[in-house]
A and B are shown apart, each in its own frame.
Chain A
Amino acid sequence: MSTPAGPRPGTPSPRRPSVLFEVGTGLVLHAVLVTSLFFLFRGHNAPGGGFIAGLVAGTALVLAYLAGDTSAGRRAAGATPRPGVVLGVGLLLAAGTAVAPWLGGGQVLESGYSHPHVPVLGGVSLASVLIFDIGVYLVVVGLVLAVLSTLGEQAGTSLAPGGEEDR
Chain B
Amino acid sequence: MLAVLAAHAGLAVLAGLLAPRLGPRAFYVAALAPLSGVVLALAAAPDVLAGRAWGREVPWVPGLDLTVALRLDALSLLMLVLVSGVGTLIFLYCASYADRDSPLVRFAATLTAFAGAMVGLVLADDVILLYVFWEATTITSYLLVGLSDEDRTARRAAMQALLITTLGGLAMLLGLIVLAQQAGTTRLSEIVAEPPSGALVTAALLLVLLGALTKSAQVPFHPWLPAAMAAPTPVSAYLHAAAMVKAGVYLVARLAPGFAELSWWRPLLVSVGIATMLLGGWRSLRQHDLKSLMAYSTVSQLGFLTAVAAWGSAESAVAAALLLLAHGFAKAALFLTVGAVDHAAHTRDLRLLDGLGRRMPVLAVAATVAALSLGGVPLLLGFIAKEEVYTAFAEAEGTFATVALAGLVLGSVLTLGYAGRFLWGAFAGRPQPSGAEDLDAVPAGERAVAAQDVHAPGAGLVAPVVVLAAAAVALGVLPALLDPLVSAVAAPYPGAGEPVHLALWHGVTPALLLSVLTLALGVALVAARRRWGLLQRSVGRVLPQALDADRTYDAAVYGLDSAADVVTGRTQSGSLPRYLGVIALSATLLPLGGLALRGADLAPGVIVDRPVQIGVGVVIALAALAAARTSSRFAAVLMLGGVGYGVAALYVLQGAPDLALTQFLVETLSVVIFLLVLRLLPRRFPVQTRRSRLRRAAVAVTVGVGMTVLTLAATSVRVRPSVAEEFVARSKPEGGGLNVVNVILVDFRGLDTLGEITVVLIAALGMSSLVLTLRRGRPGADGPHDAVRREEPEVRAP
Q: Chain A residues in contact with chain B, CB under 8 A?
A: 1-2, 29-30, 33, 43-52, 55-56, 58-62, 64-66, 68, 73-78, 80, 82-84, 87-88, 90-91, 94-95, 98, 108-109, 111-113, 116, 118, 120, 125-126, 129, 132-133, 135-136, 139-140, 142-160, 163-167
Contact of B733 with A by CB under 8 A:
yes
- Min Cβ gap A117→B in Å is 9
Name B758's closest neighbour in chain A (CB-CB). Answer: A91
Contact of B685 with A by CB under 8 A:
yes
A61 touching B746, Cβ below 8 Å: no
A108 touching B751, Cβ below 8 Å: yes
Expressed in whole angstroms, the Cα–Cα distance for A109 and B661 within the complex equals 26
Expressed in whole angstroms, the Cα–Cα distance for A56 and B738 within the complex equals 21
A87 touching B761, Cβ below 8 Å: yes
Can you sample 7 A-B contacts with CB below 8 Å? A64-B797, A73-B796, A83-B768, A108-B751, A136-B745, A157-B782, A166-B577
Name B676's closest neighbour in chain A (CB-CB). Answer: A151
- Min Cβ gap B413→A in Å is 66
Additional 12 contacts, C-beta under 8 A, given A44-B742, A154-B782, A166-B685: A46-B739, A47-B741, A50-B746, A64-B796, A64-B798, A73-B796, A98-B754, A111-B735, A125-B736, A139-B757, A145-B793, A149-B768
Q: Please judge, given known A-B contacts A94-B757, A165-B681, whether A33 and B668 are in contact too, CB under 8 Å.
A: no
B680 touching A33, Cβ below 8 Å: no
Expressed in whole angstroms, the Cα–Cα distance for A154 and B682 within the complex equals 15
Q: Please judge, given known A-B contacts A45-B738, A147-B673, whether A164 and B768 are in contact too, CB under 8 Å.
A: no
Which B438-466 residues sit within 8 Å CB-CB of chain A?
none
- Min Cβ gap A29→B in Å is 6
A151 touching B576, Cβ below 8 Å: no
Name B656's closest neighbour in chain A (CB-CB). Answer: A47
A58 touching B797, Cβ below 8 Å: no
Contact of B402 with A by CB under 8 A:
no
Name B685's closest neighbour in chain A (CB-CB). Answer: A166
Expressed in whole angstroms, the Cα–Cα distance for A68 and B797 within the complex equals 10
Which B407-443 residues sit within 8 Å CB-CB of chain A?
none
Among B578, B665, B750, B775, point to the contact of A58 (Cβ < 8 A).
B665
Interface centre among A82, A113, A150 (most CB of B within 10 A): A150
Contact of B669 with A by CB under 8 A:
yes
Expressed in whole angstroms, the Cα–Cα distance for A111 and B746 within the complex equals 9
Contact of B672 with A by CB under 8 A:
yes
User: Chain A residues near B576 (CB, 8 Å)?
Assistant: 165-166
Name A113's closest neighbour in chain B (CB-CB). Answer: B736
Name B666's closest neighbour in chain A (CB-CB). Answer: A55
User: Chain A residues near B781 (CB, 8 Å)?
Assistant: 154, 157
Per the CB 8 Å criterion, the residue count for chain B at the interface is: 67
Which B668-687 residues sit within 8 Å CB-CB of chain A?
668-669, 672-673, 676-677, 679-682, 685-686
- Min Cβ gap B361→A in Å is 65
Name A111's closest neighbour in chain B (CB-CB). Answer: B747
Among B658, B681, B753, point to the contact of A52 (Cβ < 8 A).
B658
Q: Chain B residues in contact with chain A, CB under 8 A?
A: 574-578, 657-658, 661-662, 665-666, 668-669, 672-673, 676-677, 679-682, 685-686, 732-739, 741-743, 745-747, 750-751, 753-754, 757-758, 760-761, 763-765, 767-768, 771-772, 774-775, 778, 781-782, 786, 790-798
Q: Please judge, given known A-B contacts A43-B739, A47-B657, whether A133 and B794 are in contact too, CB under 8 Å.
A: no
- Min Cβ gap A140→B in Å is 7
User: Chain A residues near B747 (CB, 8 Å)?
Assistant: 109, 111, 113, 129
A132 touching B750, Cβ below 8 Å: yes
A159 touching B771, Cβ below 8 Å: yes
User: Chain B residues near A157 (CB, 8 Å)?
Assistant: 680, 775, 778, 781-782
- Min Cβ gap B630→A in Å is 14
Among A56, A108, A125, A139, point to the contact of B761 (Cβ < 8 A).
A139
DSSP class of A's interface residues: helix, strand, loop or mixed?
A: helix
User: Chain B residues near A148 (CB, 8 Å)?
Assistant: 676, 793-795
Among A126, A146, A167, point to the contact of B767 (Cβ < 8 A).
A146
A49 touching B676, Cβ below 8 Å: no
User: Chain A residues near B672 (CB, 8 Å)?
Assistant: 62, 66
Expressed in whole angstroms, the Cα–Cα distance for A166 and B682 within the complex equals 11
Name B730's closest neighbour in chain A (CB-CB). Answer: A116
User: Chain A residues near B577 (CB, 8 Å)?
Assistant: 166-167
User: Chain A residues near B681 (CB, 8 Å)?
Assistant: 158-160, 163, 165
B680 touching A144, Cβ below 8 Å: no
Among A33, A143, A153, point to the contact of B760 (Cβ < 8 A).
A143
Q: Please judge, given known A-B contacts A55-B665, A151-B771, A159-B680, whether A49 and B745 are in contact too, CB under 8 Å.
A: yes
A44 touching B768, Cβ below 8 Å: no
User: Chain B residues near A64 (CB, 8 Å)?
Assistant: 795-798
Q: Please judge, given known A-B contacts A49-B741, A152-B795, whether A109 and B751 are in contact too, CB under 8 Å.
A: yes
B658 touching A47, Cβ below 8 Å: yes
A68 touching B757, Cβ below 8 Å: no
B764 touching A44, Cβ below 8 Å: no
B676 touching A164, Cβ below 8 Å: no
User: Chain A residues near B782 (CB, 8 Å)?
Assistant: 154, 157
- Min Cβ gap A111→B in Å is 5
B796 touching A146, Cβ below 8 Å: no
A1 touching B736, Cβ below 8 Å: no
B796 touching A78, Cβ below 8 Å: yes
Expressed in whole angstroms, the Cα–Cα distance for A32 and B793 within the complex equals 20
Expressed in whole angstroms, the Cα–Cα distance for A145 and B669 within the complex equals 12
A91 touching B761, Cβ below 8 Å: yes
Q: Please judge, given known A-B contacts A45-B737, A164-B682, whether A1 and B754 are in contact too, CB under 8 Å.
A: no
Expressed in whole angstroms, the Cα–Cα distance for A113 and B686 within the complex equals 57
Q: Please judge, given known A-B contacts A52-B662, A142-B764, whether A77 and B680 are in contact too, CB under 8 Å.
A: no
Expressed in whole angstroms, the Cα–Cα distance for A88 and B757 within the complex equals 11
B796 touching A68, Cβ below 8 Å: yes
A98 touching B796, Cβ below 8 Å: no
- Min Cβ gap B616→A in Å is 20
User: Chain B residues near A48 (CB, 8 Å)?
Assistant: 658, 661, 739, 742
Interface centre among A51, A61, A88 (most CB of B within 10 A): A51
Expressed in whole angstroms, the Cα–Cα distance for A68 and B681 within the complex equals 22
Name A112's closest neighbour in chain B (CB-CB). Answer: B736
User: Chain B residues near A1 (CB, 8 Å)?
Assistant: 794
Expressed in whole angstroms, the Cα–Cα distance for A149 and B782 within the complex equals 16
User: Chain A residues near B793 (CB, 8 Å)?
Assistant: 80, 82-83, 145, 148-149
B665 touching A56, Cβ below 8 Å: yes
User: Chain B residues near A156 (CB, 8 Å)?
Assistant: 679
Expressed in whole angstroms, the Cα–Cα distance for A115 and B786 within the complex equals 55
Among B657, B736, B771, point to the contact of A150 (Cβ < 8 A).
B771
B794 touching A149, Cβ below 8 Å: yes
Q: Please judge, given known A-B contacts A49-B658, A165-B681, whether A149 and B795 are in contact too, CB under 8 Å.
A: yes
Expressed in whole angstroms, the Cα–Cα distance for A109 and B765 within the complex equals 26
Expressed in whole angstroms, the Cα–Cα distance for A95 and B755 within the complex equals 10
Expressed in whole angstroms, the Cα–Cα distance for A92 and B577 within the complex equals 36
B767 touching A147, Cβ below 8 Å: yes
B795 touching A58, Cβ below 8 Å: no
Among A80, A109, A129, A139, point to the contact of B797 (Cβ < 8 A).
A80
Name B781's closest neighbour in chain A (CB-CB). Answer: A157
Expressed in whole angstroms, the Cα–Cα distance for A120 and B798 within the complex equals 33
B746 touching A136, Cβ below 8 Å: yes
User: Chain B residues near A51 (CB, 8 Å)?
Assistant: 662, 745
User: Chain A residues near B798 (CB, 8 Å)?
Assistant: 29-30, 33, 64, 75-76, 78
- Min Cβ gap B452→A in Å is 64
User: Chain A residues near B662 (CB, 8 Å)?
Assistant: 51-52, 55
Among A47, A77, A82, A88, point to the contact of B796 (Cβ < 8 A).
A77
B739 touching A126, Cβ below 8 Å: no
Expressed in whole angstroms, the Cα–Cα distance for A152 and B778 within the complex equals 18
Name B771's closest neighbour in chain A (CB-CB). Answer: A150
User: Chain A residues near B754 (CB, 8 Å)?
Assistant: 94-95, 98, 109
